Amino acid sequence: MYSYAGKIAKIDLSKRKVVLEETPKEYLKNYIGGSGLAARILRNKISKETNPLGSENVLLFMTGPLTGTPAPSCGRYCVCSKSPLTSIWGESNSGGKFGPFLKFAGYDGVYIKGRADKLVYLSIIDGEIEIRNAGYLKGMNTYETQKVLTEEIGLKNLSIACIGLAGENLVKYASIMNDGGRAAGRTGMGAVMGAKNLKAVIVSGHKEMKLAKPKKFKEVVEKAVEEIKENLLTSLYYNVGTAGGVDMLQELGDMPNKYFTEGIFSEASKISGAEISEKILVRNQHCYGCPIGCGKIIKIPKGRYKLPETDGPEYETVAAFGSLILNNSLEGLAYANYLCNSYGLDTISCGSTIAFAIYLYQQNKLSKEETEGLELEWGNIGQVIELIKLIAERKGFGKILAEGSRYIAEKKGLKGFAAEVKGLEVPYHDPRAFFGMAICYATSPRGACHLQGDMYLIDLGQEIPELNIFSGDRFNLKGRIETVIKAQNWRSIYNSLIMCQFSNPNPKLIVSMLNYATGFSYSLKGLLSAGSKIFNLKRLINFNLGISAKDDYLPEIFKQPLQGGTQGKTPKIEEHLKNYYRLRKWDPKTGKPLEEQP
């Protein structure tokens, strides 16, 4: 099997049993790898009756066919399961080097079921798998866990994915952390790991990926790397990181303020990527095989928010603990980011849930008694930091916040008002700024997600002419639903390869890299067709988990017009969803895909 490791390890933690199986060749042409292949493997393994935090739920770590090869920006892995936050398809992915090292250890994926009777970790080194006691790691944060296990194992080429206190305490949006502060954050995969009493997974190995046509592959890789380096966004990400667009996104009304209720945050420039680079940056950080280097290592040498050298905040975190709560303290939000990484918390869901609570409190819809004596305030980053601790520890008001925004809204009789779709908090690209994002959020297989279709970038000018994906009027959906669908299908391919979405070489180069690596014979049209199959399969899984057309909605909060960059406009998606279902070949009443997936 060219470019695949060829094996998946199936581990039953209850029985402490390991079985090795061949990677299912019959699924590869249609579902490729990553979350596409994960969806096909898990299709009949999760149901409405599956308790996401029960021993019967399955947790699947998966790589893609380009993971561990010289292909640029393909050093990622994904984790899939039934989500404890949303009760539907759960999917998250992360960079760093864990994905390549898992393949070097000899496996395309690790399938985990059952529950250990005590805290354990998995050691996967050069094909050998051991289930080891991890009792002494209980309560350790993710940085400490990685440090202790790295010293204990004593190998140079080692990567560790682990959970912190949030995962151990089953916070519904707990993340899995690897390679320092890299996060598989969304949909609560860290809570699934914690429910299985699994603290960490260690991977290391020396297996080489055989390529179908290595010389041609190398030539195409060189062209792809050259294109990536010449891209203007690459320069932006390298120089000022993912938060480099803060000022522009504020002007466009894309970056949310005061829990999505104000169009402008006048002090946003104080928390921008440029400020990070000027005031606290130490150096850039690259994921495995990535020519971009968007990661930032920061340091705050003194003061209330003193930090050692650690991972800096990305754009989503800057919004979560900055403009969303009206905080202008760069050092404060950097410290909040550090805490979330240490505890293993998704910064998007964590920040949004806290901001929602502040909003409700300020609207007198949440009482001081309910917050257990806390007077929730806008702009108080010190208070937010204390709330992060309470969430991870599940203490006091943190017990409620640990359940997520939808839980709080339903508890308060405000169903549909929180900024969430299908239970997943909306990321920080306001659909009032880019109407295409409204459709993406409403139909994404894991709930509100900007990585299952990034129309905001397309309408900012990141066009893909080879796929007939062009920018347009950001406030108009008429005639553009087909573009949304193509963008979603294309990103489904990215999430299966697995390729970083900051990396955008010519699609024909991506097709060639995949063909020369695997020996497949995809055309560009054929690859897009596979993307459609993958997207529809995830929809079918969700339909079987209880999702229907009524769940494809835009939260009420986004139906309120704002001043500023969105010019008082709001997206109206109902009629466009009908067209979306027609083009997708989904039943207009139920939302179920009409074409059975192979």
Q: What is the pLDDT of residues 206-252, one digit of tens each?
A: 999 999 999 999 999 999 999 999 998 888 999 999 999 999 999 99
Alpha carbon distance 379, 376 (integer Å): 10
Q: Does 302 lie in the same domain as 347?
A: yes
- Residue 561, number of CB atoms within 10 A of its CB: 12
Q: In this structure, is residue 589 part of a structural domain?
A: no
Q: Does 365 lie in the same domain as 327?
A: yes
State whether the Cα torsion 207-213-216-217 is positive or negative: negative
CATH code assigned at 370 = 1.10.569.10
Instruction: State CA 510 to chain mean position distance.
Output: 22
Average pLDDT over residues 200-205: 98
Would you say residue 90 has pLDDT above 80?
Answer: yes
Q: Does 166 lie in the same domain as 312?
A: no
Among residues 381, 413, 445, the one where a domain terminates is 413
Closest CA to 271 of 304, 316, 232: 316
Would you say residue 301 has pLDDT above 80?
Answer: yes
pLDDT class of 553 with cuts at 50, 70, 90:
very high
pLDDT class of 597 with cuts at 50, 70, 90:
low
Q: In this structure, is residue 517 part of a structural domain?
A: no
Q: In this structure, is residue 228 part of a structural domain?
A: no
Q: Does 436 lie in the same domain as 537?
A: yes
Q: In this structure, is residue 225 part of a structural domain?
A: no
Q: Looking at the chain, how many residues does it have?
A: 598
Instruction: State CA 70 to chain mean position distance.
Output: 23
Range of the domain at 442: 426-503+523-584
Q: Does 185 lie in the same domain as 51?
A: yes
CATH code assigned at 551 = 1.10.599.10
Which residues are CB-contacts of 56 (< 8 A; sequence separation ≥ 6)? 50, 113
Q: Which helix (H) or strand (E) holds 391?
A: helix 381-393
pLDDT class of 436 with cuts at 50, 70, 90:
very high
Which two three-digit tokens encode residue 387? 């709330």
Residue ranges with strand state E in 169-294: 176-178, 182-184, 198-204, 281-285
Mean pLDDT rounded to a whole number for the chain: 97
Q: In this structure, is residue 257 part of a structural domain?
A: yes
Average pLDDT over residues 314-337: 98
**CB 170 within 8 Å of CB 351:** no
Q: Does 123 lie in the same domain as 171?
A: yes
Q: Does 555 lie in the same domain as 460?
A: yes
Q: Does 119 lie in the same domain as 50?
A: yes
Going across the sheet that includes 281-285, the strands are: 281-285, 295-300, 307-311
pLDDT class of 595 with cuts at 50, 70, 90:
confident
Alpha carbon distance 261, 259 (integer Å): 6
Q: In this structure, is residue 216 part of a structural domain?
A: no
CATH code assigned at 16 = 3.60.9.10
Q: In the chain, how many domains are there?
A: 3
pLDDT class of 416 with cuts at 50, 70, 90:
confident
* Percentage of the chain lying above the pLDDT 90 cut: 97
**CB 339 within 8 Å of CB 326:** no
Q: Does 139 lie in the same domain as 15?
A: yes
Alpha carbon distance 10, 12 (integer Å): 7
DSSP state of 262: B
Q: What is the pLDDT of residues 386-406, one digit of tens each?
A: 999 999 999 999 999 999 999
Q: Does 479 lie in the same domain as 353?
A: no
pLDDT at 233: 87
Average pLDDT over residues 300-324: 98
Among residues 390, 413, 436, the one where a domain terminates is 413
In whole angstroms, how far apart are CA 182 and each of 8, 77, 292, 512, 572?
23, 11, 16, 29, 36
Confidence (pTM) = 0.98
**CB 63 within 8 Å of CB 33:** yes
Q: Does 567 lie in the same domain as 463?
A: yes
In whole angstroms, how far apart are CA 393 and each of 86, 399, 476?
21, 8, 45
pLDDT at 1: 85
**CB 392 within 8 Å of CB 169:** yes
Q: Does 300 lie in the same domain as 187?
A: no
Q: Which residues of 403-421 are buried (b: 16+ CB within 10 A; e: fewer)?
A: bbbbbbbeeeebeebbbbb
Among residues 360, 391, 413, the one where a domain terminates is 413
Average pLDDT over residues 321-346: 98
Q: In this structure, is residue 137 part of a structural domain?
A: yes
State whether the Cα torsion 449-453-458-463 is positive or negative: positive
- Residue 156, number of CB atoms within 10 A of its CB: 7
Q: What is the pLDDT of residues 448-500, one digit of tens each?
A: 999 999 999 999 999 999 999 999 999 999 999 999 999 999 999 999 999 99
In whole angstroms, how far apart are CA 491 and each of 5, 101, 237, 336, 534?
23, 24, 19, 30, 10
Q: In this structure, is residue 231 part of a structural domain?
A: no
